[in-house]
Amino acid sequence: MYSGIYTENINVSKELTIVSQSGDPEDTVVQAFNQENVVFNVTANNVTIRGFKVNGYLMGIYLNGVQHNIISNNEVYGSEWGIFLYDSSDNTLSNNIARASSFDTIHLFYSNNNMLINNSACGSMVNGIGLSSSDNNILRDNTASWNDFGIWLASSSNNTLSNNYIRGNDECGIILSPSANNNKLDNNKLLFNGDGISLMHSSSNNMLSNNNISGGLDVGIELYNCSNNTLTGNTASKNEDCGISLTNSMDNVIYNNYFNNTNNAYDDANNIWNVTKTAGPNIIGGPFLGGNYWSDYAGIDTDGDGLGDTLRPYDSAGQIANGGDYLPLVASIGDDDVEYNPYDTNQDCKISMEELLVAIDDYYSGDLEIRGLLKTIEYYHLGEAGYC
C-alpha cells in the first residue's frame, strides 16, 4: 500500500501479504471507518501485516482462529485492545509498538505456541501484555512500560518470558495469577514498578531465574498462596517495602539469589531458603552454592568456603517465621565483577549528565540501540545511589 491515510475496516479472509510500500508506519496510516469494528480483522492463515500505523476505537489488529500469521513493524494505538489473538496459534508478533489502550495493548486469549519478540507495549490502563488461558508461548525481548501491569499471565502455563524489559508499571511488573503454572521467567529486567514479580492464587511449579528487580515501590518478589516454585539467580535490590515476601505459600525453594533491600524477606509459612552445599560458583562469585546473599547478614565465614557459619539460620530479623537460610552467602562482589555501563567512563557506578549526552549523541548517530540508551537514562536517574 502506498503512503497515505486510509479510513476503512479491512477483513482479511484469505492468505495475503499486506505491507506498506515505505515500510514506515508513520506515513501509512489505517484508521477505522466504523469505530465499532476492528481495523484489521484476520480470519485466514499465512497472512502478513507489516508497516502500518493503526488506529481504531475497538481493536487495532484481531487474529481470530488462525495460524502462521506474521504481524510486524506496526504501530497500534488508541484502541480498547491493541493487538488481540483469539484461539490462534503459531503466529509471530515482532517489532510492533502497541500503546495507549483502554485494556491490553497486546492480548492472547486461548492462544498457544505464539512468539512475541521485540514488541513495545506501553501506556495501557490495564496490561501491557496479557495472556489468558494461553500456553506454550514465547515472550522475548519485549518492553512493557507505563501500564497498570506490565505482563500478566492468567491461567496460562508453560510459557517462557526472557530478556524482557519491564519499567514503570503502577501495580506490578510481571504477575502470574491465578493458576499460572510451569512457566519460566529468565533474565528479565524490572525497574521502578509497584511490585516487581508477583505469583498469586495457586500459581505453582514456576521457575524464576536470573531476573533483576530493583527500585520497586513495594515488594521485589511476592508469592501469595503459591507452592512449589523455584527462585534462583535473581537480584532484588532497593525495593522500598521488601525484597521478597511469601504469604500463605509453602514448599518454595529460594537459593542463590541476591537481596539488598532495607527489609530483605518476609515468610509466614514453611519454605526452603537454601540447598545442600554444592560446588558453585554462586551469584556473588563464591565457590559453593548454598543459600542466598543477604545485605544485612551479620554472621561470618569461619572456614573460608564463602558460606556463613554463625548467626544461622538467617531469618531476616525474625521475619522468616520458620527456619531460614542455613547457608547464607558471605563473599562480597569485588570491583572486577561489576558490569559497568559503557558510558560510565570513570567507572564510579554513576552516569553524569555529560556521559548521558554522549549516549544520546551515539543513539542519534546510529551507534547505540534504544535499549542501551534507555538503560543509560535509568542509571542517570539513580543519581548518587548508583547502579552497582
The mean pLDDT value of the chain amounts to: 93
The three three-digit cell numbers of residue 221, written as one number: 518478589
What was the pLDDT predicted at 374?
Answer: 78
The superfamily in CATH containing domain 1-147 is Single-stranded right-handed beta-helix, Pectin lyase-like (2.160.20.10)
Alpha carbons 3 and 20: distance in angstroms, whole number: 7
| The three grid cell numbers given for residue 362, joined into one nine-digit string | 551515539
166 contacts 189 by C-beta, under 8 angstroms: yes
Q: Are strands 278-279 and 288-289 parallel, antiparallel or unpaired?
A: antiparallel
Per-residue pLDDT of the chain (388 residues; tens, 9 = 90+): 999 999 999 999 999 999 999 999 999 999 999 988 999 999 999 999 999 999 988 999 999 999 999 999 999 999 999 999 999 999 999 999 999 999 999 999 999 999 999 999 999 999 999 999 999 999 999 999 999 999 999 999 999 999 999 999 999 999 999 999 999 999 999 999 999 999 999 999 999 999 999 999 999 999 999 999 999 999 999 999 999 999 999 999 999 999 999 999 999 999 999 999 999 899 999 999 999 999 999 999 999 999 999 999 999 999 999 999 999 999 754 444 567 788 888 777 888 888 888 888 887 887 787 777 778 888 877 776 677 6
Distance CA 1, CA 150 (A): 33
DSSP string computed for 46-102: S-EEES-EEE-SSEEEEEES-BS-EEES-EEESSSEEEEEES-BS-EEES-EEE--S
Asked if 30 and 40 count as a contact pair (C-beta separation under 8 A), the reply is yes
Dihedral, 140, 158, 170, 268 alpha carbons, nearest 10 = -130
Q: Percent of the chain at pLDDT above 90?
A: 83
Domain boundaries, the chain: 1-147, 342-385
